[in-house]
Amino acid sequence: MALRSWPQNMWTLETHGGLHVAIRPNSDSLQSTYQPIDLVIGASPNQDAATTDTLVVPQDQGSLASLDHWLVRVPNAKRAEWWSAKDNAGTADNAIHVKTVAGTTAMDATLLFSIDGVRILILGPADDIDATAASSFGPIDVLAGNKPEQLALIAKELKPVRVCLGNTSAPDAAAQIAQDLGIDLPVQAVAHNTLAISKSAEQASETQVVSLGDAPWKMPDELSKLFQLMEQSCAKSQSVFAKLSTQQMNFAPANGTHTPRWNAEHMLGRQLLFFSQIYHAQDPAIPVMNWNPAQMPPDYRAAHPDWTGAEEALQMQRVSLFTRRFAYLLEDLDLDKKAPSSFWTPRALLKQMERHYDQHTANTIKKFELPGWPKS
């Protein structure tokens, strides 16, 4: 997942499964996001950046004071859902638990997020949390906030794996936090606003202080054009698969070729593996993810045989968003030299993925004319 810092005490969380949460949003920052927002905590969403499917937790005192809910998106559902704690969504893959641990309003609420085994505490801007109160929060993997003194105070008690100072252009403030905590590790200064987070990365024994900027990384023009072509090809593929039923996705042609579902899983699996290999070499917080299905039809077992084509299309979109979300890790790489831990150059990989979606989508469309193709 990614934790992102924005101006005016705004934070966002983007999970690999496609859930996107905005905390204390402001209109200018929301317009800079490129992923649809599922949940807004603290204000009405900007309609240019959010959709009518966005869930909104308003600013009123009662709502924020009593947050103990799960943001869950069930496969094949049209939108994410907001479940109370008693609904026991804790076992749902990629669900986000949201709990208010201090404060009552959008401007001062301190929120605890639990996502796939990672606990992230995002401090409110008010100075109303003391070390005694913090001790009741339990183990924290990532502590984030905008006020250096407040972060240092709470970090002394909680001893998180990472302390993230957001919305800053002054690394000295983060260095002061490290000094106050007696940390020998140098501050990780990030010029843009995005930090990769995973369970494996949050198991270090020593606290790391991170200084985050408040604006997204700007992709260079040459790389941006390559990304756009790959994403356009992926989007065209999504539009084809999104119309297929579960039965059509599982159609096994009599000629022994693959099901449409295999083609979808293969396309997104290759992109995810190849890019996660490169990203992992640049930042170990991003794991190498191999979702590739077995190559030969008799050996293939569908990862999600009950998913509709629309859900498989969303899975393609999630991989596409993942690839763009962490593309800042390509910044210092030569587009025409093999990337670390990969036999691909970045340019060749982007062009190959563009062709790959076109190729396998065309193969799938041919199956619509085969004998036995389900009508629905």
The pLDDT confidence band at residue 200, using thresholds 50, 70 and 90, is confident
**Is residue 235 pLDDT above 80, yes or no?**
yes
Question: Cβ(259)–Cβ(249) under 8 Å?
Answer: yes
Quick one: CA dihedral 355, 364, 235, 216, positive or negative? negative
CA distances from 123 to 126, 144, 150, 192 (A): 8, 6, 8, 20
Instruction: Please tell me the distance from the alpha carbon of residue 144 to that of residue 153, in angstroms, as a whole number.
Output: 12
Q: What is the pLDDT of residues 5-47, one digit of tens each?
A: 999 889 999 999 999 999 988 777 777 788 888 998 886 666 5
Nearest to 344 by CA among 266, 248, 291, 271: 271
Of the chain, the end-to-end C-alpha distance in Å amounts to: 36
H or E segment at 211?
Answer: strand 208-212
Instruction: Please tell me the distance from the alpha carbon of residue 297 to that of residue 294, in angstroms, as a whole number.
Output: 8
Mean pLDDT of 158-187: 88
Mean pLDDT of 92-120: 86
Reading the block at residue 44, the tokens are 């009405």
Q: Minimum mean pLDDT among 24-28, 115-119, 237-241, 248-252: which range?
A: 24-28
What pTM, to 2 d.p., does this model score?
0.93
The pLDDT confidence band at residue 59, using thresholds 50, 70 and 90, is low
Whole-number average pLDDT of the chain:
90
Q: What are phi and psi of 319, to 5 degrees?
A: -65, -40
Reading the block at residue 247, the tokens are 């039965």
Question: Cβ(115)–Cβ(17) under 8 Å?
Answer: no
**Is residue 49 pLDDT above 90, yes or no?**
no
Give residue 103's pLDDT. 79
CA distances from 359 to 10, 25, 266, 365 (A): 41, 41, 12, 10
Q: What is the pLDDT of residues 291-312, one digit of tens each?
A: 999 999 999 999 999 999 999 9
Q: What are phi and psi of 289, to 5 degrees?
A: -120, 115
Residue with the bigger pLDDT between 33 and 236: it is 236
Give residue 328's pLDDT. 98
H or E segment at 69?
Answer: strand 68-72
Instruction: Please tell me the distance from the alpha carbon of residue 209 to that of residue 254, in angstroms, as a whole number.
Output: 58
Cβ-defined contacts of 290-299 (< 8 Å, 24+): 291/265, 292/265, 292/266, 293/262, 293/265, 293/266, 293/269, 297/252, 297/256, 297/257, 297/258, 297/259, 297/262
Mean pLDDT of 44-67: 69
Nearest to 161 by CA among 136, 144, 173: 144
Nearest to 308 by CA among 69, 48, 31, 76: 76
Give residue 25's pLDDT. 84
Instruction: Please tell me the distance from the alpha carbon of residue 336 to that of residue 150, in angstroms, as a whole number.
Output: 45
Give residue 45's pLDDT. 60
**Is residue 88 pLDDT above 70, yes or no?**
no
In order of start, what are the domains of the chain with their CATH numbers? 2-212 (3.60.15.10), 221-367 (1.20.120.450)
